[in-house]
Structures are given as structure tokens and as C-alpha cells.
Structure 1
């Protein structure tokens, strides 16, 4: 303990720490240095300590000081985030140089195995079509069949980004297959002018039905299949009859069987493979255009767009922008080494 500090907080000479006044003093000291969004926590801390002393409840006092320590930890994070934000321009400018030096050092000291990287290069990147092969190779890492655990070692800093893009891509492909089935189902009973709005409306319903806290994409889709089949059959019945009625059990069973077959991630269906190949081919072209223009994303010509995709062009463009950014940055870091290894 600090006797002088306790005496300073105890001018009446009781020789005991006045916890409410101490909490109020700490709150007053921290308030000028804390983020405005966290100021209410200071009041909660002081109020909890004061209530605990007044009611002689040690749990409230402990709660108050626990809030104080959590607040101090949050302030440390706020300072770190502020420093990162202030240094963002510097970090962005030096990111390529940092990764180049990091990989060069690891490779020169023999601390990085390059087996899977060289295998990946030999499979995709062959002179003189190095750019095309590199883009195809990067995009191939997003395939559902690809063993993600065998990611080339030079992509270790990109693993989280690629994993996120891969999960988003296959969620979009699953939504696309459902929308294709839905369009095929309602097309005979829907006016052409009402078809696109109906598909876009059903896309939003799909997003609601698959919303789940489960991170594993396969389990999420497996759980949603009965609800998706029921909702699709219900929408079909409404389009066919013009009013809400109980859906046909035969339609529900047929739709559920189709979804179980085509949304199965363990055994990729031909429909999924076809859609995946078309999207990945489009991604390869956007990556190639971005690398040649030295930009993170370059829209390609209308002839190469995915107009036949139902209601998901904007989402696919977002993913194309993300994978193009990863490809451009990675090529800036490793491009010279790849060229040397491929020669």
C-alpha cells in the first residue's frame, strides 16, 4: 500500500480508504483520456463502488473495480488501434518490402520448405504465360475440391483472406443453385415481368433462412435444406394459385432431394462444378487484368461478365475485387522469385 496516497484520499484522518471517493477520483482522472464511447463505463464503475459501500456488498465493489480494469485494458487497445490508424499509410507503403525481406530471409536460412510452392508453380505457372498461369493458380486455391491444408508456403500471410473468400464463394454458388432451381420452378407460372423481382425477393429469404451462428458452412447449409425446400414450395404455390395455400408435399420432397444432392460439399455435384468453373474463370480474367494494370481491381469487358448468373452479379463482383487485390499484392511480393523459379 501507499500510506501517503491513502492519507491524501482520507483528509479526515480515519486512516481508511474511501472507496467511493477513490472511484470518483479515478473516473475524473481517466475521463479526459478515454474515448467518448467508453465514458458511460466510468459512471458505471463509480456508481457500482458507491452502491457496494453503501449497502456493504463486496460483490458490487468488486464489480466496480472489475469494470475499471476492463476499461484500462480497453484503453490499451484503443491506443494501439489509434497508433495503427496513424501509421496506416506507412504500413501500406512498406508492406511489400517487409514481406519480401521476410520471405528472402526465411528462404536463405532454410527455415521455409518450398515443396508445395514449387509443386503449385509447376502445375500452373509456366513460361511464357506466367501471368495467366499465376492468376489461374491463385484462383484454383478457391476450389472446394482443393486441399486447403496444402496451401503453398508463400501464401501463409494470405491464408485467412483466401479462406474467407473461399467460404463466401461457395455460399454464393449454393445460393445460385437454389435460385436457378427456383427460377426453373416458377418460370412456367410467373409472368416474365415479375420473374426477376420474385427471384431477388427469394434471394433475401434465402439469406434469412441460412443465417446461423454456426461457422462451418457445410453444416449451415445442411440445417437449412428443409426450410429452403418448404419456402420454395410455398412460393411456388403462391405464384401458381395467386393466394397463400399449403404447398404440395410432392414439390417439397422433390426440391429437398435436389438440394441434398447439389448442396453436398463432400461430393461436388456437376451443377456446382459447372458454376464454380465459370466463376473461377471470370476471377482469373479479373486478376490478370488487375496485375497487368498494376491495380487491385480492373473491370473486364462486358463479354466476359456473368450476365447469366441470377441475382448475384454484384456479390460476385465484390469477390472478384477481393481476390484480385490478394493476387496483385502477392505478385508484387513474390513475382520476381516466381519468375526466377519458373525459368
Structure 2
């Protein structure tokens, strides 16, 4: 395709200009300037669209009319044209389908669901400056980006995406009507209607152009400019000579040059759909191919981002304490913090006051004693329903992990309550022997199966399923006692009421018992890894994912693993919980101790920005604090991350010498709101 316009043509220039001459040229120019006449615009004698006769006359002035009204009239007339055209198509005999496309044409977004701006949150600079990602990377071995289709936001994104692609299909149908058999139109000459009809296709081409250039090397940019000249493409579409098959084939060839071989099958499918759609003039199939093309560009961007995370992971983990300390201090000093330091100090003062009898500072390492008190407070807050023991908002980056831990502890507590009832029933039935581990596992698996996916949703889930749970406990108690169960309404009702009463009345006591077992394990783990670097903590305390597990979506909140709940013994669960709690405790204490807890001043000062971080592993590169309070460029040594490219290291250095931006919608919602993978 020979480009006849400059390669630097912008997306905004992709629209055809308003006419300045012709039968209705004056009217069109006035419409473009925001004013026109509110009167009949007529020419030679003819027949109007409704069949009535019309007579030549002059423009008659009545009152000025805004551009928005003209645009609204034209848009509604285009919808009428679309509905009339679709009615002639046997595929759209159903009026509801025609109205669905018309409604999408009216209201859907004009830009595609995937744009260069939305994908920019996967750029290396934004990855490195994303404070939540920098923190989360310490806790997940498979942390990676993937589109979010979960939850209300994901569902809303999918609905908006579907509406956009329907609107694009409607627009292509409208092009067929306007460019290949223009109907009788009102107001202005056809080119103005053409311009208003081109609401999404030019922007789609411009988006593909921009995203593709951001993914391929500079040497291929001229090729992209030549083949994806938006203005030229729209002129070809208007004249009915645009070869979409050739365009998609060229794009597919370029994609195969730069994407992983595993994507080739998907690229070939995209081309096949475009050929089929073009041969049959099937707009839905053509749109499906364009949707696949945009999805493929998103996939390539995700592949690049995930590759960069893997390469930089060790470096990011090792620099966690230094980076986050300066990040939070800078915001506190500049009054842009998300945390209330005064509230955190009050919370810590209460911890010291409540736990001072447990430690004798004269005979112990004061630093270790403070860390033990901190560990005790965190563990207690996870086991308690007392709002006074809630953690301060300095834990905001760990909120999802803490919530998941609290729910798991609640589940373990409720299971212990169920097992208490099981023991009570079997003894009432005359069984006083030891309960074998197999029987415990069988009961645990049965209860977890009853809860199903509701495991990890809190105490209310256990209450809602109390009838089924009590029935299973009753059945297994009779089975271990060697007695056939007697099922009648009275017995089942009493069993259910007994279990619900135990849930209400004994939860706190069981939680205290569980905490008494869990806390020593946490303290032992914290003491064992007291001097470990962030990388050593990661290697020792982060569980290895199960084979064939799906990489974690950023930032998918941690949830309770039903398989683990069913198959792991209580001791294995407690060991896992203690490791995860210890990991949070150690990192949080190193980052926040001198900022919000044990310092004497009410608020940090600029001088504190140069406070060195706690001792770390000798393999860790030590950044030097500058006079501005930020760290000087961090030069990684070979053993840390040998596969990091020079470009990526420079990006890390750059982000460490500037004020890192607040995490935007990308990691917390933007990336999570990426559209569905193809």
C-alpha cells in the first residue's frame, strides 16, 4: 500500500474534513462553527424522504441552533439508516438484534477497550514505580500480570467491551450503506454524514498503530507508519478499495517476527477469520478478527511485562526495605502519606503497655524484645474479633494477605469447634477411645466439601451451612461409635442448634487456644530469620506453588486454598500460617519500625530520610542517600540478577533517582481491568 500522507499523521487527523463547498457547503461550514439555520434546507424540486413534494427556495432564518443539536440529529438519522439497512438483512430479521446494534452505536465507548494508555501501566517504568507490586513481589513466586475478568469491575469491563465491539460491527454495516448506496439524507451533504459515521474505526486503527509501534523495534516503525496510515485507510474504506485481508496478513507477519512461537496459532486464526469475514462480507467475523488482533497486541505487552518482572524480581526483592522506607518517608514529610503515623504510634504504645509484663528488657536484647512484642500483637489481631486490636493503616499494602490469614484462622477455629462437638457426640454414644488421624482427616475433608468454594469467606459461611455440617458430624460420630444413626427432625434440629450455640459461645475460647499454639511458632520463625535478607526470607518463607497452578493475577487478593484445607493436617496448616505471618512481620518491622513505632519524634524529619536500613545480607548492593533524601543510582552486582538487561537496569536506576509516583489504577485497578485475553 503506497502511503500518500505523511508518516506522522495523527489519530485526530484521521477524520475526513467538513466540506466547504457544494450544494450544502455553506450549511456544513456553519455547522462546523457551531451555528446554522433552523429552517428547511431545500434545493431543486424533488421528493423528500417521506414522499412529499419539495420546492426550491432560500434558507429561511428563524433562530440559531447549536452544534450539539445538529450532531444529535445527524447521529439519530444515521441510526435510522442503520436500522433500515439491517432490516433488509436476513440475519437481522429479529428487531431486538437490530436495536441492540443501534443502541451500541449510540452509547458505546469510541475508543477500544485496549489502548496504548491502558497498556502503559505495563511499561517497565510503571512496574518499577508501582509500590504495591514492589511489595507483593516478596510474597508470590508466580506473581505476573494477566487481564482481570474477576469481580464487579471485571464484569463491567467485559460488558463495556462487548458493547464496543457490537458498535464497531454496526459502524461497518453503516459504512456499507453510506459508501455503497447512499440513501436520501437530510441537513447536509453526504461527506458530513460519513464523518459522523466514523466514530470508532479510525480510532481503532490509530490504537493498533500506536500499540504496535510501542512493541516493535525502532527499525520497524516506518513499516508500521506505511501500512497503518489511518487517513489513507479511511479513504480506501470510503472508496470500497481497502484490502483488510492484506492488512491483517501483513500485521500477522510482523507479529510473528516479534512474539513467541507459541502465539503463532492464535495469529493464524486471526488471519483465517478475516479472510472468511471478507469473503462473506460478514461484519461480525471481521470484527472478531480485529478484536483478536487487539487482544494479541495486549498479549505481547503482557509477555514483555512478565518477562521484565522475572528478570528484575531478585533485584526488586532485595531492595524492598530501602525502597519502601524512602517511599513512605518522602510522603510523610511532604504530607502525602496514606497512613496516619500518630495513630500507628498510639497503637504501638498500647502494644508496649499491654505486653510489658511479658518481657524483661534488662536481661534481653531490647530490639528483639520489641520485635517479639510486635509479632505478638500482629498474631493476636489475626485471632481476635476485638476491633480494639485492629492493625493500623501502616499495613495497607498487606491488607489482602492479612485478611486471607484472618479468614484461614477463623476456618481453623470453626473446624476445632466442629471437632469438639464430634468428640462430645461420640462420647455420648459410648466411644471413649482415641480418634485416629484417618477419622480426623475424613471429617475435615467432609466438612470442607460441604463448604466447597465458600471456604475462606468467614464465620457467616459456617453459620449458613450449620445444618449440613451438624448432620455430617452427627453421622460420623455414630459411625465411629459403631451405631446406626437415627434421623428424625427433632434430633437433627437439636444437633444443629447445638453446633450453632458452640459457634457463638466458644469461638473466642477456641481462638485463644489456637493463638497459644500459633504464637510460639511465629516467634520461633521470626527469631530464626531475624538477620535474613529479603531474598532469604522469600526463599525460605514463600511456599512453592503447586504444579500447573495459574500465576497470580496482579493484584488478586489471596484466598483460602480449599485443597490445602482438605488435605493438609492442622499442624501443616499452622506451620504455613506461621511462616506467612512471620514474613509479613519481619518486612513490615524493618520498613516501619523507625518511621511509625519506636522513634521518639512525633513525625519524621528530612534528616531521617538518610537513615540507613536494617542490616541485610552482604550480597545486597547498598544505595547511598543523596542530599535530597532519595537514593543514588543502585548498581546491581552480577550475582543478584545476571539476566537483567542494561536497559532494565537503567530503568531501575532512573526510578530510584526521582520521586516515584503514587500507584495509579494500573496495579490496583488498571491492570486488573485489562480486557480478556484472547
Q: Same fold, TM exceeding 0.5?
A: yes
Do 1:31 and 1:39's aligned partners in 2 also have CA atoms closer than 8 Å?
Answer: yes
Greater alpha carbon shift after TM alignment, 194-203 vs 78-87: 194-203
Do 1:27 and 1:42's aligned partners in 2 also have CA atoms closer than 8 Å?
Answer: yes
Do 1:209 and 1:228's aligned partners in 2 also have CA atoms closer than 8 Å?
Answer: yes
Question: Could you list the per-position Cα deviations for residues 105-153 of structure 1 after superposition, in whole angstroms to 9, with x for gaps in the alignment?
Answer: 2233344431221121111136654232111122233134143996323
TM-score (norm 1): 0.79
Greater alpha carbon shift after TM alignment, 149-158 vs 312-321: 149-158
Where structure 2 has 5 or more consecutive residues not aligned to the other structure, the ranges are 5-225, 234-238, 542-567, 602-678
d(CA) in 1 for partners of 2:511, 2:487: 31
Q: 2:587 matched to which residue of 1? A: 329
Structure 1 residue 46, shift from structure 2 partner: 2.2
Q: 1:319 matched to which residue of 2? A: 577
Q: 2:385 matched to which residue of 1? A: 145
Alignment of 1:38-53 (within 5 A): 38-53=263-278
Question: Is 2:276 the counterpart of 1:56?
Answer: no
Q: 1:131 matched to which residue of 2? A: 371
Do 1:287 and 1:327's aligned partners in 2 also have CA atoms closer than 8 Å?
Answer: no
Alignment of 1:127-206 (within 5 A): 128=366, 129-147=369-387, 151-186=391-426, 195-206=436-447
Q: 1:224 matched to which residue of 2? A: 465
Do 1:287 and 1:323's aligned partners in 2 also have CA atoms closer than 8 Å?
Answer: no
Do 1:20 and 1:46's aligned partners in 2 also have CA atoms closer than 8 Å?
Answer: yes
Do 1:225 and 1:260's aligned partners in 2 also have CA atoms closer than 8 Å?
Answer: yes
Q: 2:307 matched to which residue of 1? A: 82
- Structure 2 residue matching 1:212: 3-state secondary structure: helix
Structure 1 residue 189, shift from structure 2 partner: 6.3
Q: 1:69 matched to which residue of 2? A: 294
Q: 1:281 matched to which residue of 2? A: 519
Greater alpha carbon shift after TM alignment, 282-291 vs 76-85: 282-291
d(CA) in 1 for partners of 2:389, 2:260: 41
Q: 1:214 to 1:313 in 2, by over 3 A?
A: closer
Where structure 1 has 5 or more consecutive residues not aligned to the other structure, the ranges are 299-309
Would you tell me which structure has more helix in proportion to its own residues? 1
Quick one: which of 599, 607, 619 aligns to 1:340?
599
d(CA) in 2 for partners of 1:88, 1:6: 36
d(CA) in 1 for partners of 2:412, 2:299: 36
d(CA) in 1 for partners of 2:282, 2:417: 60
d(CA) in 1 for partners of 2:522, 2:259: 47
Q: 1:6 to 1:102 in 2, by over 3 A?
A: closer
- Structure 2 residue matching 1:332: 3-state secondary structure: helix
Q: 1:311 to 1:61 in 2, by over 3 A?
A: same
d(CA) in 2 for partners of 1:97, 1:18: 55
Q: 2:344 matched to which residue of 1? A: 117
Question: Could you list the per-position Cα deviations for residues 229-283 of structure 1 after superposition, in whole angstroms to 9, with x for gaps in the alignment?
Answer: 222223334444577x66454553233223323445xx87344343343245335
The structure that has the greater radius of gyration is 2
Do 1:234 and 1:247's aligned partners in 2 also have CA atoms closer than 8 Å?
Answer: no
Q: 2:145 matched to which residue of 1? A: none
Alignment of 1:88-99 (within 5 A): 88-99=313-324
Q: 2:244 matched to which residue of 1? A: 19
Structure 1 residue 21, shift from structure 2 partner: 3.8
Greater alpha carbon shift after TM alignment, 117-126 vs 190-199: 190-199
d(CA) in 1 for partners of 2:371, 2:387: 23
d(CA) in 1 for partners of 2:282, 2:388: 54
Q: 1:162 to 1:15 in 2, by over 3 A?
A: same
Q: 1:64 to 1:219 in 2, by over 3 A?
A: farther
Do 1:283 and 1:324's aligned partners in 2 also have CA atoms closer than 8 Å?
Answer: no
Do 2:417 and 2:510's aligned partners in 1 also have CA atoms closer than 8 Å?
Answer: yes
Do 2:383 and 2:512's aligned partners in 1 also have CA atoms closer than 8 Å?
Answer: no
Question: Is 2:366 the counterpart of 1:107?
Answer: no
- Structure 2 residue matching 1:16: 3-state secondary structure: coil
Structure 1 residue 215, shift from structure 2 partner: 7.2
Alignment coverage as a number of residue pairs = 324
Q: 2:141 matched to which residue of 1? A: none
d(CA) in 1 for partners of 2:389, 2:433: 46
Q: 1:305 matched to which residue of 2? A: none
Do 2:421 and 2:499's aligned partners in 1 also have CA atoms closer than 8 Å?
Answer: no
- Structure 2 residue matching 1:340: 3-state secondary structure: coil
Q: 1:291 to 1:124 in 2, by over 3 A?
A: farther
Question: RMSD of the alignment, in Å?
Answer: 3.6
Do 2:405 and 2:577's aligned partners in 1 also have CA atoms closer than 8 Å?
Answer: yes
d(CA) in 2 for partners of 1:81, 1:328: 27
d(CA) in 2 for partners of 1:97, 1:336: 12
Question: Could you list the per-position Cα deviations for residues 43-63 of structure 1 after superposition, in whole angstroms to 9, with x for gaps in the alignment?
Answer: 332232222223321011111
